[in-house]
Amino acid sequence: MDRPRRVLLTGAAGRIGSCLRELLPAYGYRLRCFDRLPVPGEPDAITADLRDAEALAAAVDGVDAVVHLAGIPGEAPFADILAANIDGTYRLYDAARAAGVRRIVYASSNHAVGFTERPADGGTVPVDTPQRPDTYYGLSKCFGENLASLYADRHGMETVSLRIGSFTDEPRSVRMLATWLSPGDCARLVHAALTGPVSGHTVVYGISANTRAWWDLASARALGYRPVDDAEAFAAKVIAEHGEPAADDPELRYLGGSFTQAAP
């Protein structure tokens, strides 16, 4: 697409939102921020809930694209997930459609496929593996991906769902040696998702160029994503701290790690 200039960032006060506020302007974007919490130091920011229709309509007005991060970032009671992640995401997509926004980049999660067992041969999992949520949180990400598919097919929007792995400053567990997404690569990935060639709904995994990667980055690379970080640089430190992984470690059996053992 033509390079989008004005981008709405929902969830702008959160962890990933704060990183993107810092790093995306260098790519030439002008950000409008949206969050339930005040976003400090941003001249163009709206403090509101996604269920505030008037605020949402003002937020999507005149933007070229949306990066939708807002929502509960982990497991929670179903009623909370329903309101924030499912209903909130629907409202965001529909407001964007009504305003004529061309592209939405959606923060999905690896937990949309979290109950997928890691391949026995140590290979990577492709993006077209069936959805297999590990929590209500993962289920809401499946909904968001399917909503993105519907709005691409029915309304001709360009939609990209990022199945983000583990976004942290540095990997903090053996699992993260496979699932880590560094802050710099996160910005590179979102930039690629905002500008890369998209036909309909596109699903990509969001991790760095990790030597031990569990996910296939082919569809992300097709958007132009070129990760530069590798969790392997931290492997000695992580293993010294946590020990070598046991073959039967439940954290490492399924893609979703400990989320597969979350209490109902």
Task: Kindly list the catalytic residues.
Answer: 137
Tell which positions 229-258 bind ligand 15L, by CB under 6 A: 257
Residue 166 interacts with ligand 15L (CB under 6 A): yes or no: yes
The set of residues, in sequence order, having a beta carbon less than 8 Å from that of 178 and lying 6+ positions away, is: 165, 207, 210, 212, 213, 214, 231
Rg of the chain over all Cα atoms, to the nearest angstrom: 18
Question: Which residue, 20 or 60, has its beta carbon nearer to ligand 15L?
Answer: 20
CB of 110 to ligand 15L, least distance (A): 5
The contact pattern for ligand 15L, residues 116-155, with x = CB under 6 A and - = no contact, is: ----------------------------------------
Cα distance between residue 134 and residue 112, in whole Å: 7
- Dihedral sign (CA 210, 12, 83, 200): negative
Residue carrying structure tokens 């979350």: 262
Q: Which one, 32 or 212, has the nearer CB to ligand 15L?
A: 212
What is the C-alpha to C-alpha distance for residues 163 and 147, in angstroms, rounded to an integer? 15
- Least distance between ligand 15L and beta carbon 72 (Å): 9
Which residues 102-121 are close enough to bind ligand 15L by CB under 6 A?
109-111
Nearer to ligand 15L, 196 or 257 (CB): 257
10 CB-near residues (< 8 Å, 6+ apart): 17, 34, 35, 50, 59, 66, 67, 68, 69, 70, 92
Nearer CB in complex with ligand 15L: 52/251:
251
Q: Which of positions 30-89 make contact with ligand 15L (CB under 6 A)? A: 73-74
- Minimum CB separation from ligand 15L for residue 21, in Å? 18
Cα three-residue angle 256-213-242, rounded to 5 degrees: 70
Q: Angle at the Cα of 242 (from 241 to 243), degrees rounded to 5?
A: 105
Q: Does 179 bind ligand 15L (CB under 6 A)?
A: yes
In the complex, the smallest distance separating the C-beta of residue 155 from ligand 15L, rounded to whole angstroms, is: 27
Binding site for ligand 15L (CB under 6 A): 73-74, 109-111, 164, 166, 179, 257
